[in-house]
Amino acid sequence: MKWDFYLRLLSTISVVGLLSVQACAAPPQSPTPTAQQPAYWPGDEWRTSTPEEQGIDSAMILAMLQEIRQNALHVHSFLVIRHGYLVTEVYFPPYSQELKHPLYSITKSVTSAMTGVAIKDGHIEGVQQHVLDFFPEIAEETKDERLKELTIEHLLTMSGGFNADTLPDLSNPNANCDAVQYILTHSNLRCEPDANFDTAKYILTHRKIQHQPGEAFFYDSGMPHVLSAILQETSGMTLEGYTKKNLFDPLGIKDFRWQSDPQGITMGHSGLSLRPREMAKLGYLYLHNGQWNGRQIIPAEWIQVSMTKHMETKGVMNTGEDDGYGYYWWMDSLDGYFADGFGGQYLFVMPRLDMIVVFTGGFSDPDFPTPHRLLKTYLLPAAQPTEALAANPQAFDQLKAEITDIQNPEKAVAALPEIARQISGREIRITGAAAAGWLEKIRFTFPGGDMYMLELVGPENTLLLTGGLNNLFQLNMLGPERKTIFPLRGYWQDDHTFIEEQNFNLTFDHQFFTVTYTFEGTKVLIKIDSSQGIPPFQVIGEIIE
């Protein structure tokens, strides 16, 4: 991958401007308990409380936060809501309460919710309706008998039988690609960006469904995108618009982002960004069986059937996803169910404890289940079945102090070395393979104070970034619609070595890089280390007089 990632960054910034419900399935085998009747419904704000007042041990939450800090775990935010009260809320800079965070695959759970609403509204007959009912041209042309058997429920349970992730690359808005046709038939190869792509082999091996629909679980992001197209076709609204009207507006969620594919179909699998407090509202709605302030937003029957285990997943995904799959929700033997997304986004709903836990993060794949482990190790033992615990002011004060330290990590800026003054404002020309790709020049500017500027120059695009020198990430919001999040900070390790942390959170992907610049005369050795398992690599630069 190497510098290809930066190429995607630049191109993304430049071109994106980055039935009745009762008939849908059998009732749950083990009905989920309903949370207690709420004392209030959160509108613009959640009411707050101490953990002990809601039966949670502050000392256990403190121990969890200490582990996160000591092990530098990639948690961006953490919220606990119990009995309707926000008892703990932590944001790890540069992430903040007001920042909309990409949810990645938690988006699928919202797509599931709106499928239930669409069935209630009569846009879809039920989960047993055939997918090709909505795509008559494909139905007329296909010779794949299994494709003809594909139902809405197969899409919802990731059991379409394709045995491959059918989703094409949607990152290029200029692509001439019918994503739905590609997902269902793999016949529109304009979705494939690689000129050396083996068309014949791909058609022969992937065009037909490999397994009987409903037979096997395979995590396939193409399935919810097809559902989004169906909802758009039947409701006359995009999934984004349909969700705003029927879900977000009633919950008071006013500010969100949701991306679409090049044909204007809202992404059903990913692309939604919400504030963590608003993520918690979705969990609270499910906790109360789809009811919100006297209004049934999502049919209660749909909530229940969504939380039923439809597919076995043990050994198929990661260790936190072993307990089965419902309708774009994961079962959880710990105490409820959850939605999760790439990088460590988690929304845990625990009806028996009347509790919701939200994590956002930036974990690499091997560490993706970390929030699940933290929940099991600290939060479940912390939540007592009693309504309240005895006040523990000492533990609560320590917890507050820890949160204050986390959210205010600023340090004094050390005196800059002489090399910082010498290179400030000067051009560093990249040589070798990197220069032949996208990156031509780098320019640092150290104007004094607690920030620096970094300019990355390519043949067609230039990024102007601000980084922190005081241990704080500066949050760069890039693209015409400021959709690309690029936190940046750096420090001088010694008189000739500058260390930079680039914490990407991109529109379609993210990476976490540590970049080490070593200055030796007019030469600059640039070494890049990634948190995503990519081997370290390096390029050479030269300071131009």
Residue 414, classed as helix, strand or coil, is: coil
Q: How far is CA 425 from CA 203, 354, 444, in A?
A: 53, 56, 6
When mean pLDDT is compared over 167-176, 374-383, 478-487, the highest value belongs to 374-383
Q: What pLDDT sits at residue 475?
A: 84
Q: What percent of the chain has pLDDT over 70?
A: 83
Q: Is the model's pLDDT at 21 over the cut of 50?
A: no
pLDDT tens-digit map of 517-543:
999 999 999 998 875 556 778 888 999
Tokens 């749950």 -> residue: 28
Q: What pLDDT sits at residue 358?
A: 98
Question: Minimum mean pLDDT among 158-172, 284-298, 462-476: which range?
Answer: 158-172
Q: In which band, very low, low, confident or very high, does the pLDDT at 3 lie, cut at 50, 70 and 90?
A: very low
Q: What pLDDT sits at residue 499?
A: 94
How many CA atoms are closer than 13 Å to the CA of 366, on its beta-carbon side?
Answer: 4
Q: State the DSSP H helix or E strand holding residue 489, giving kind and residue range, or none if neither.
A: strand 484-494
CA distance 262 to 191: 11
Beta bridge partners of 462: 457
Q: In which band, very low, low, confident or very high, does the pLDDT at 29 lie, cut at 50, 70 and 90?
A: very low
Q: What pLDDT sits at residue 194?
A: 52
How many CA atoms are closer than 13 Å to the CA of 179, on its beta-carbon side?
Answer: 30
CA distance 93 to 95: 5
CA distance 326 to 317: 14
Name the token pair of 352.
């028996």
Q: Is the model's pLDDT at 142 over the cut of 90?
A: no
Q: What pLDDT sits at residue 190?
A: 55
| Numbered ranges of CATH 3.40.710.10 in the chain | 33-99+275-408
When mean pLDDT is compared over 176-185, 276-285, 312-321, 402-411, the highest value belongs to 276-285
Q: In which band, very low, low, confident or very high, does the pLDDT at 163 lie, cut at 50, 70 and 90?
A: confident
Selected residue with higher pLDDT from 176 and 48: 48
Give the burial class of 350: count Cβ atoms within 10 A of its Cβ; 0-12 exposed, 13-18 middle, 19 or more buried.
buried
* pTM (two decimals): 0.82
CA distance 306 to 308: 6
Name the token pair of 8.
């995607």
CA distance 4 to 12: 12
CA distance 343 to 234: 33
Rounded average pLDDT over 351-372: 92
Q: What pLDDT sits at residue 204?
A: 32
Q: What pLDDT sits at residue 192?
A: 56
Task: Work out the angle between the directed axes of helices 106-120 and 222-235 (0-180°, nearest 10).
Answer: 30
Q: What is the mean pLDDT of the chain?
A: 85
**Burial readout 113-128 (b: 16 or more C-beta within 10 A, e: otherwise):** bbbbbbbbeebbbbbe
The closest of 191, 142, 202 to 168, measured between CA atoms, is 191
Question: Minimum mean pLDDT among 56-65, 140-149, 179-188: which range?
Answer: 179-188
Phi, psi of 433 (to 5 degrees): -65, -35
* CATH classification code of 418-543: 2.40.128.20
Name the token pair of 512.
């976490």
pLDDT tens-digit map of 173-231:
555 667 888 788 766 555 555 545 443 333 333 456 888 999 999 999 999 999 999 99
**Preceding omega of 94 cis (within 30 degrees of 0):** yes
Q: What pLDDT sits at residue 18?
A: 29
Strands 295-296, 291-292: pairing is: antiparallel
User: Per this entry, what is the length of the chain?
Assistant: 545
Q: How far is CA 488 from CA 92, 327, 391, 502, in A?
A: 14, 38, 40, 5
CA distance 75 to 540: 33
pLDDT tens-digit map of 373-415:
999 999 999 998 878 999 999 999 999 999 999 998 888 898 9
Q: What letter does residue 535 receive in the DSSP assignment?
A: P
> Strands, DSSP E only, in 386-431?
427-431
Rounded average pLDDT over 219-244: 95
CA distance 416 to 418: 7
Q: What pLDDT sits at residue 375?
A: 96
What is the domain class of 33-99+275-408 according to CATH? alpha beta
Q: What pLDDT sits at residue 521?
A: 92
